Amino acid sequence: MSDILDILLAANFWAAALRIATPLIFGVLGALLCERAGVLNLGIEGIFTAGAMAGWMAAWLGAGLWGGVMVAALAGAAFGLLHAILTVPLGLSQHVSGIGVTLFATSLSYYTYRTALPDVSSPPRIEAFQPLDIPVLSDLPFLGPALFQQTALTFLALALVVAVGFVLYRTPLGLAIRAVGDNPSAVEAQGLSVMALRIGTVVAGSALMALGGAFLTMSAFDAFFFGMVNGRGWICIALTVFASWRPGKALIGALLFGAFDAFQVRLQTEVGSFVPGQVFLMLPYILSIAALVVVARKADYPRALLKPYFKGQR
Amino acid sequence: MIRFEPREHVSPLRRIAAPVIAAVAALAVASLAIAAAGAPVLEAYGLMAKGAFGSAFAMSELLARATPLIFTGLAAAVAFRAKLWNIGGEGQLYAGALAAVAVGTGALALPGPLLIPTVILAGALAGGLLMLIPALLKVRLGADEVVTTLLLNFVVILFVQMMLEGPMKDPMGMGWPQSEPMLDEAMLPKLMDRMRVHAGLILALVAALGVHIVLKRTVWGFETRAVGENPEAARHAGIPVTATFLRVALLSGGLAGLAGVGEVAGLKGYLTADLSPGFGYAGIVVAMLAGLSPVGVVVAALFIAGIFVGADSMSRAIGVSNYLADLVVATSLICVLVSGLFVRFKVRFVRVGTGKGAA
């Protein structure tokens, strides 16, 4: 028991939780934006991979870290545009199109990586984002190491929670985005373009997803590996339902998930000799399924989610 | 703006044209990727064709590779017909493979003629039961099966790794995480001497025919299609929607499980955690290229298998990454979605605001 308390009371535990949560915060924000506009984006897993690869490669080629982040966002936006065109004006199945975008973005990332670096066994490393040293705050006891020794991308993720929340609930644009996922014909009656709103939101949401991928190669690690996204995109889709499509709850969901994951890693070192490591590695996926199942019955899906809309239709 | 008018009659020629156009378009896109890698495009395609079709060995490899793709393609086609989004073919394949080695490596002392059917049944059952979990979560608790099947893929592969490093590890395996070898009597026979193509192919073709008959000629098939087209209307018509979903889930998962059986009992002879290079996901592409038709699945599986086998051979010869195959597969999925649109609809470009063309 005291071991568990020791884990939970250590500052580095909470620092790890926030670090694990960061890519999920980006991913869930992106997914909830797309779904709020009525488009399920299962391209997320591939967009994560593309963001991870593109951001890292741009930085490795000398674009600088923030240049890499920009490139990652642009790559995500491009794949988002592909998904948006397939599902909004063409009205194709969002499920199948999303899987297609994931397969396409993943294979294109892997092919590009292998073509650029045909013979390397271990990937070249970049100078990744370092934890910021914020005067005063970073030196606070407990809170300093737990909250204020993260990299700039974690703070960007936290800022985006506020920004996405503000846009969705405090601006006319946000009202239009929410309406377009609930009742598109009402939006059209206002003289707004359902198509433009949906495409724009999916593109923006996909750019956010790609930042989650970029965090993996440019902050959590400093190189690109095959299979490194490892289902994080799918976990984000489950967390989006868990978060009821709200940015604030998305942050809480991602943090809970991060805390649980950090906890199981530490528990593993305590009881690892009795329980096979795979059991611990399974937990995040099982937890995501459980999170989805718990809220599934009362989940208030955007009413026009998955439903294509054509102009003039009621 | 663009308007889609449903065609009243879709000619068979048009139906076949969609995947053919998609395949050609995907190969065209891939030729850009080959050119970007600085390789000669025509030579690369020549090498791919030779690697996939150019010899008896190539044909055997092609058919061996097509076998799991037929199974996973059928699994996706059956489920998608009922709009049950089973994206868990990869996990169900591993579940089938795990069950096959569980009964086929000596735990059961049965004579050969009984052992092989037992192995097949065990694999199908394992895949089917695995798919039953997300299907039950869907019909009972309303949990979206796309996410649950996707996440279960990761759980199952980790479970397989755990078994292969633990209770099912081959003590003679030099420390490698692999299962004990299948008994000789549990192995599916080879179809050609010194070639890898095996009786799993026959099983896959029989499965395709069986699924075709079930979907086209039986009440089950009718109910499956009705539920896929409109579950509410099906419920009103007195069709047992929940039971149909569960039945489809069992069948779909079972078919994917058979892909795993074929790979261990027909090809490898033992189980490792890298048994499948994504056959489960490629099965979705196979099903979509086939327009969800079981017979079409066989043809589409041969195409996708040709891409994989050809790209491997081409990659060895001129060094273009064999991730090219995955790129072609992904591109053909996106292309077939778009070309399918032109099959089902007349696409009209109309100007907004002229008042003309309003339906």
A278/B87 touch (CB, cutoff 8 Å), yes or no? no
Q: Please say if the pLDDT value at position A1 is more than 60.
A: no
SS3 A59: helix
Q: What is B152-207 written as a DSSP string?
A: HHHHHHHHHHHHHHTTTB-TTSTT-SBBPPPPGGGSPPBSSTT---BTHHHHHHHH
Per-residue model confidence (pLDDT) at position B354: 45
Binary contact (B150, A231; C-beta < 8 A): yes
CA A113 to chain centroid: 22
Q: What is the largest CA-CA distance in chain B?
A: 78
For B190-197, the CB contacts below 8 A with 24+ separation are: B191/B63, B192/B56, B192/B60, B195/B56, B195/B57, B195/B60, B196/B60, B196/B61, B196/B64, B196/B267, B197/B59, B197/B60, B197/B61, B197/B63, B197/B64, B197/B67
What 3-state DSSP class applies to A231? coil
Interface of B with A in 23-82 (CB under 8 A): 33, 36-37, 80
Domains of chain A (ranges; CATH) run 2-117+148-296 (1.10.3470)
Lowest mean pLDDT among A129-143, A161-175, A232-246, B10-24: A129-143
Site from A53, A117, A229, A278 to mutate, B interface, most B CB atoms within 10 angstroms: A278
ipTM value, please give it.
0.93
Q: Is residue B18 part of a domain?
A: no
Q: What is the pLDDT of residue A142?
A: 76
Q: Is residue B330 part of a domain?
A: no
Q: How far apart are CA B6 and CA B10, in angstroms?
A: 9
* A35 pLDDT above the threshold of 70: yes
Q: Tell me, yes or no, whether B81 lies in a domain.
A: yes
Helix (H) or strand (E) holding B69: helix B56-81
User: Any idea which residue has 């077939």 for tokens?
Assistant: B336
Mean pLDDT calculated for residue range A132-151: 79
Nearest to A95 among B3, B85, B323 (CB): B85
CB contacts of B292 in chain A (<8 Å) are: none
Banded pLDDT at A276 (limits 50, 70, 90): confident
First CA to last CA distance, chain B: 14
Count of structural domains, chain B: 1
**Closest residue to A286, CB basis, from B144, B147, B155:** B155
What pLDDT is attached to residue B346? 79
* pLDDT of the residue at B1: 64
Q: Does residue B95 fall inside a structural domain? A: yes
Tokens of B350: 């109309």
Half-sphere exposure of B295 (CA within 13 A, CB side): 7
The answer as to whether B173 is a domain residue is: yes
Query: Cβ–Cβ of A310/B4 closer than 8 Å?
Result: yes
Is residue A219 over pLDDT 90? Answer: yes
- CB atoms inside a 10 Å sphere around CB B5: 10
Among the partner residues B37, B80, B153, nearest to A115 by beta-carbon distance: B37
Contacts of A279 in chain B (CB under 8 A): 162
The three-state secondary structure class of B5 is: strand
H/E run at residue A44: helix A44-58
CA distances from A106 to A208, A217, B108, B143 (A): 17, 15, 42, 26
Contact B158 A99 (CB under 8 A): no
Dist. CA B359–CA B343, nearest whole Å: 20
pLDDT reported for residue B206: 98
Question: Can you give the pTM of this predicted structure?
Answer: 0.94
Q: How far is A174 from chain B (nearest CA, A)?
A: 25
The pLDDT assigned to B174 comes to: 81
Residue B349 pairs in a beta bridge with: B2
- Chain A residue with minimal CA distance to B148? A289
Q: Which of residues 189-248 of B touch A (CB under 8 A)?
A: none
Is there a domain that residue B320 lies in?
Answer: no
What's the CA gap between B180 and A127, in Å, rounded?
A: 45
| Secondary structure of residue B3 in the 3-state scheme | strand
Helix runs in A94-242, H state only? 94-116, 143-147, 152-170, 172-182, 184-189, 194-215, 232-242
- Phi/psi for B345 (5° steps) reads -130, 150
Q: Which residues from A are below 8 Å from B137, CB to CB?
A: 289, 293, 296
Residue type, A270: E
Q: Which one of B34, B292, B333 makes the best mutation probe of the A interface by having the most chain A beta carbons within 10 Å?
A: B333
Beta-carbon count within 10 A of B230 CB: 12
Residue with tokens 């569960």: B246
pLDDT value of position B357: 41
d(CA B79, CA B228): 9
* Token output for B277: 């290079």
Task: Report the interhelical angle of A277-296 vs B112-141 (nearest 10°).
Answer: 40
CB-based contact B158 A282, cutoff 8 Å: yes
Q: Report yes or no on B145 lying in a domain.
A: yes
Residue A314 has pLDDT above 60, yes or no: no
Strand, helix or coil at A223? coil
Burial of B13 (0-12, 13-18, 19+ CB in 10 A): exposed
Confidence tier at A92 by pLDDT (50, 70, 90): very high
Tell me the nearest-neighbour CA distance from B110 into chain A, angstroms. 32
DSSP 3-state of A227: coil
Q: How many residues does chain A have?
A: 314
For strands B2-6 and B345-349, give the pairing.
Answer: antiparallel
Residue B106 is predicted with a pLDDT of: 84
Q: Does B133 touch chain A (CB under 8 A)?
A: no
> Pick from B4, B33, B141: which is nearest to A293 by CB?
B141
| Lowest mean pLDDT across A56-70, A255-269, B280-294 | A255-269
Residues of A whose CB is below 8 A from B87: 99
Specify whether the CB–CB gap between B68 and B113 falls below 8 A: no
Position B356 in a domain: no
Contact call for residues A13 and A266 (beta carbons, < 8 A): yes
Q: Do the Cβ atoms of A281 and B158 come within 8 Å?
A: yes
Domain extent, residue B109, equals: 68-291
Tell me how many degrees the CA angle A144-A162-A230 measures, rounded to the nearest 5. 75
CA A245 to chain centre: 13
DSSP for residue B346: E
pLDDT in 10s for each residue of chain B, 359 residues: 667 777 877 788 888 888 999 999 999 999 999 999 999 999 999 999 999 999 999 999 999 999 999 999 999 999 999 999 999 999 999 999 999 999 999 887 788 789 999 999 999 999 999 999 999 999 999 999 999 999 999 999 999 999 999 889 988 888 888 999 999 989 999 998 889 999 999 999 999 999 999 999 999 999 999 999 888 899 999 999 999 999 999 999 999 999 999 999 999 999 999 999 999 999 999 999 999 999 999 999 999 999 999 999 999 999 999 999 999 999 999 999 999 888 888 777 776 554 444 43
